[in-house]
Amino acid sequence: MTEPLHPVLAACDKDRLAVLGETPLVAETPEELLDDETTPVSRFFIRNNGLLPDPALDPEAWTLTVDGEVETVLRLSLADLRQRFPVRTFRMVLECGGNGRSFLSPRAEGNPWTHGGVGCAEWTGVSLRDVLQAAGLTPAAAHTAHYGADPDKTGDSTIPSLSRGMPVEKALEAHTLLAFAMNGEPLPFLHGGPLRLVVPGWPGSLSQKWLTRIWIRDREHDGPGMTGLSYRVPTQPLAPGQDIGGIPLRILESMPVRSIISSPGPETSHPAGTRNLSVRGAAWAGDDEVNAVDVTLDGGVTWTPAVLTTPLNRYDWTRWRADLAVPADGAYTVHARATDSQGRAQPFVPSNWNPNGYGCNVMHGVPIRVGSAP
């Protein structure tokens, strides 16, 4: 018997996500629900840092302000964005910077994501680059600062819940979008509608939802989410649990390579005598490409290379499949290991422990059984 859907998920038309927090709402997608090439909205993870903005806000009245180190301050409606700039659609991965955090020990601060703080949707919008070119960057322009309409957890609307930014080089990539649609529908409110940023390959926190302002700064932005331990990782390996002390930190930019197994699901039973197991999933690698995915049934003693599909565009995930030979009935754990275009692969052991638990890309393992338990 399946349990009733969690009421907060039912209220927002979501599928069986795992709710990690209710206020603010945070929910991740079980890997076996990430089996579609394009993640449906109903299965797309949710991460909110503050309260939700007023859902009654009129999309027609929405304006985005672009100011700071620009020649001309712009105030643009959604209609202005559509009319003045080329509209583009890309399928791109959005992944929380803390995805994989729960595998670190000792437990790092923050939401205990397994591998499901990720989704890959078709985002439609205009390139931030085109808008910044229309505004004209001054020679001092160095960094963006993002603001959304959601108030801070305390409800104080003068404090942004989150305000991150990126070097202008990343902002000027064609794939960095001001998105107003997701999977061909107007951008859903919960995912930042009517307007959000999508900054692919980098931590999801840069992809500001309910976007109202982009301030171009002459220095690195210092809003909530930019300072202290937020989205920063040590510049040298720490022992698990080690105090950061005086070790310098760097801002986490490109996310590390990761893969998930979307079928078979965990704890599934396959008929006795099954000698071929079809396995499939997805892999992605931040700013890089996925070069290979290998799958093992025996803890890495033997590996089977997976067949990869060609991504639709840069930052799309790579879907993969493999047929594994099953030597005998019994219990197994399937592991998938992706390797990026720089030859970096995923570890078996959760590595790179850091105080806030960013970028833990340990392999996904799925326990299964062939034949019934003795």
Ligand X SMILES: Nc1nc2c(c(=O)[nH]1)N[C@H]1C(S)=C(S)[C@@H](COP(=O)(O)O)O[C@H]1N2
* Contacting residues toward ligand X, per CB under 6 A: 44-50, 94, 96, 148, 150, 161-162, 191-192, 204-205, 207-210
Residues 84-103 that bind Mo ion (CB under 5 A): 96
360 makes contact with Mo ion (CB under 5 A): no
The one of ligand X, Mo ion, none whose footprint includes residue 316, by CB under 5 to 8 A per kind, is: none
Tell me how far apart the alpha carbons of residues 234 and 247 are, in angstroms, rounded to a whole number: 7
Tell me how far apart the alpha carbons of residues 87 and 127 are, in angstroms, rounded to a whole number: 8
Tell me how far apart the alpha carbons of residues 89 and 235 are, in angstroms, rounded to a whole number: 36
The one of ligand X, Mo ion, none whose footprint includes residue 49, by CB under 5 to 8 A per kind, is: ligand X
204 makes contact with Mo ion (CB under 5 A): yes
Place of tokens 């996925």: 290
Q: Which is nearer to ligand X, 207 or 259 (CB)?
A: 207
Query: What's the min distance (Å) between Cβ of 20 and ligand X?
Result: 12
Q: Which is nearer to Mo ion, 43 or 129 (CB)?
A: 43
CB 115 within 8 Å of CB 257: no
Binding characters for Mo ion, 301-340, by CB under 5 A (x = yes): ----------------------------------------
Q: Which is nearer to ligand X, 64 or 334 (CB)?
A: 64
The one of Mo ion, ligand X, none whose footprint includes residue 161, by CB under 5 to 8 A per kind, is: ligand X
The one of Mo ion, ligand X, none whose footprint includes residue 143, by CB under 5 to 8 A per kind, is: none
Query: What's the min distance (Å) between Cβ of 277 and ligand X?
Result: 31
Q: Which is nearer to ligand X, 224 or 371 (CB)?
A: 224
Which residue has its beta carbon closest to Mo ion?
A: 96
CB 101 within 8 Å of CB 113: yes
| Residue 285: count of CB within 10 angstroms of its CB | 27
205 makes contact with Mo ion (CB under 5 A): yes
14 makes contact with Mo ion (CB under 5 A): no
Tokens of 91: 């399928």
Q: Binding Mo ion by CB under 5 A: which of 14, 43, 47, 258?
A: 47
Tokens of 159: 């404090």
Burial of 240-270, coded b for 16+ CB within 10 Å and e otherwise, reads: eeeeeeeeebebbbbbbbbbbbbbbeeeeeb
| Residue 228: count of CB within 10 angstroms of its CB | 12
129 makes contact with Mo ion (CB under 5 A): no
The one of ligand X, Mo ion, none whose footprint includes residue 201, by CB under 5 to 8 A per kind, is: none
Query: What's the min distance (Å) between Cβ of 317 and ligand X?
Result: 15
Q: State how far the alpha carbon of 216 is from the alpha carbons of 230, 344, 374, in Å.
A: 21, 34, 64
Contacts of 327 (CB under 8 A, 6+ apart): none
Q: Which is nearer to ligand X, 204 or 311 (CB)?
A: 204
How many residues in the shown chain lie near Mo ion by CB under 5 A?
Answer: 4
Q: Where are the alpha helices (DSSP H) in the chain?
A: 7-11, 78-84, 128-135, 168-171
306, β-bridge pairs: none
The one of ligand X, Mo ion, none whose footprint includes residue 210, by CB under 5 to 8 A per kind, is: ligand X
Q: Which is nearer to ligand X, 48 or 352 (CB)?
A: 48
Tell me how far apart the alpha carbons of residues 29 and 267 are, in angstroms, rounded to a whole number: 17
Q: Which is nearer to Mo ion, 68 or 355 (CB)?
A: 355
CB 149 within 8 Å of CB 50: no
Tell me how far apart the alpha carbons of residues 214 and 275 are, in angstroms, rounded to a whole number: 56
The one of Mo ion, ligand X, none whose footprint includes residue 208, by CB under 5 to 8 A per kind, is: ligand X
Angle at 174 between CA 165 and CA 95, to 5 degrees: 55
Q: Which is nearer to ligand X, 22 or 323 (CB)?
A: 22
Binding residues for Mo ion, rule: CB under 5 A, are 47, 96, 204-205
